[in-house]
Amino acid sequence: MRKQIAAANWKMNLTYQQGAELLKTIVTSGVSPNENQQVLFAVPFPYLELTNDTAHLKENYFAAAQNCSDKKSGAYTGEVSAEMLKSIDVLFCLVGHSERREYFGETNDLLGRKVSICLTYDITPVFCCGEALRIREQNTQNAFVEQQLRESLFHLSSEQMLNVIIAYEPIWAIGTGKTASTAQAQEMHAHIRSVLQKQYGQEIAQKISILYGGSVKANNAKELFACEDVDGGLVGGASLIASDFIEIIRALK
Ligand code: PGA
């Protein structure tokens, strides 16, 4: 069975103290992921060590970075490299969240380099893809997402691909309270898996976890995660409320 994953994405929210409190509440709440489930906390860089320290109190909880540089090292003021993340035991990193694409001009090509450098340092990239409302209205979302996968992931070997997590996040559903219907989510997830299958074969495509993101809440997580090709969620707003995120962890298959 594929890994089932609940990933919190705090974005640029919460002070260190608020974050510490939230983590402690969730990790000590008694909700215990089984060996096939993982809980990730994608937190701001200054909170990564604290998050790992807290996450280590329980099995299957992990810190994740929200971004990293595509460069190895050097004169890039303000950037954080994959090697630096690795040096503090960060094992996961979001790559290509739509907010990075939109506000920081991140292109498929650049994201392909970020994915590669993460894998070089044994960091699992959580590669985000998904279409804007305009694309959905034109009914070209399948081709659009396929191109994102092709341009950022398909330079990887099969072995590397097995270490990638994909998160499908329709931009029109992020932070808007609008969730994709279970039918829309399942349809796109099945499409993503078929694109992976064409490139890497069925065995590999079946092993890759594909998360859904976009207004996942305590009251819709179970229904979404029950879809055959939905292997958990990447959760923004609802991950900032302990009781909601705990419910979302409980909703994992
Ligand atoms: P949301 O954010 O759950 O607040 O819609 C999801 C995300 O952007 O990862």
pLDDT tens digits for range 50-97: 999 999 888 999 999 999 999 999 999 999 999 999 999 999 999 999
pLDDT, average across residues 217-229: 97
Look at residue 175 and tell me whether its pLDDT is greater than 90: no
The burial of 151, by beta-carbon neighbours within 10 Å (0-12 exposed, 13-18 middle, 19 or more buried), is given as: middle
Assign 171 a pLDDT band (cuts: 50, 70, 90). Answer: very high
Assign 222 a pLDDT band (cuts: 50, 70, 90). Answer: very high
Task: Please tell me the number of Cα atoms within 13 Å of 105 on its side-chain side.
Answer: 0
Q: Is residue 213 in contact with ligand 1, taking CB distance under 6 Å? A: yes
Look at residue 179 and tell me whether its pLDDT is greater than 90: no
Provide the mean pLDDT of the chain. Answer: 97
Q: How far is CA 41 from the centre of its chain?
A: 10
Q: Is residue 240 in contact with ligand 1, taking CB distance under 6 Å? A: no
| pLDDT attached to residue 208 | 98
Assign 100 a pLDDT band (cuts: 50, 70, 90). Answer: very high
Look at residue 128 and tell me whether its pLDDT is greater than 90: yes
What's the rounded Cα separation, in Å, for the pair 163 and 134? 32
Question: Catalytic amino acids?
Answer: 97, 169
Assign 141 a pLDDT band (cuts: 50, 70, 90). Answer: very high
Assign 239 a pLDDT band (cuts: 50, 70, 90). Answer: very high
Task: Supply the DSSP symbol for 190.
Answer: H
Nearest CA among 10, 60, 26 for reference residue 242: 26
> Ligand 1 centre from 237 Cα, in Å?
6
> Ligand 1 centre from 102 Cα, in Å?
14
CB-based contact 215:179 (threshold 8 Å) = yes
pLDDT, average across residues 139-157: 98
pLDDT, average across residues 22-42: 96
Give backbone dihedrals phi and psi of 48, rounded to 5 degrees, phi first: -65, -45
CA angle 57, 63, 188 (to 5 degrees): 125
> Ligand 1 centre from 27 Cα, in Å?
21
Q: Is residue 235 in contact with ligand 1, taking CB distance under 6 Å? A: yes
Assign 123 a pLDDT band (cuts: 50, 70, 90). Answer: very high
Assign 178 a pLDDT band (cuts: 50, 70, 90). Answer: confident
Give backbone dihedrals phi and psi of 212, rounded to 5 degrees, phi first: -105, 140
